[in-house]
Amino acid sequence: MTTFNSVWDAIEDTPEQAENMKIRSHLMRSIEDRIRAKGWNQQEAAKRFRVTQPRVSDLMRGKIDKFTIDTLVNMVVAAGLHVQIGVVDLEAA
């Protein structure tokens, strides 16, 4: 039986694709959490993020394939959040 560290590791074709999806999903969850914590409706969030309401709806419904990392970083910053990046040497672990 094969075990994976993440669902993305299990379903993506390459480690690079899996890593990209992990980053995008983390950013999306952070934005969604912020929207809920602030009590913003989708229209309010869209105005803050300078996107359309259907775009926020896609985010809230987890439509990860519709978002690039760049777009999500812009939305994170517009939500008043900050992105921190860490890189780990897998060979040293």
- Average of pLDDT values for 77-92? 92
CA dist., res. 40 & res. 79, Å (int): 11
Q: Are 27 and 69 in contact (CB under 8 A)?
A: yes
Domain that holds residue 62: 13-78
18, two tokens? 């899996």
Q: What is the CATH number of the domain that holds 23?
A: 1.10.260.40
Phi, psi of 61 (to 5 degrees): -90, 5
* pLDDT (tens digit per residue) in 12-59: 778 888 899 999 999 999 999 999 999 999 999 999 999 999 999 999
62, two tokens? 């987890």
For the chain, the domain total comes to 1
- For residue 3, being part of any structural domain is answered with no
Residue 65 three-state SS: helix
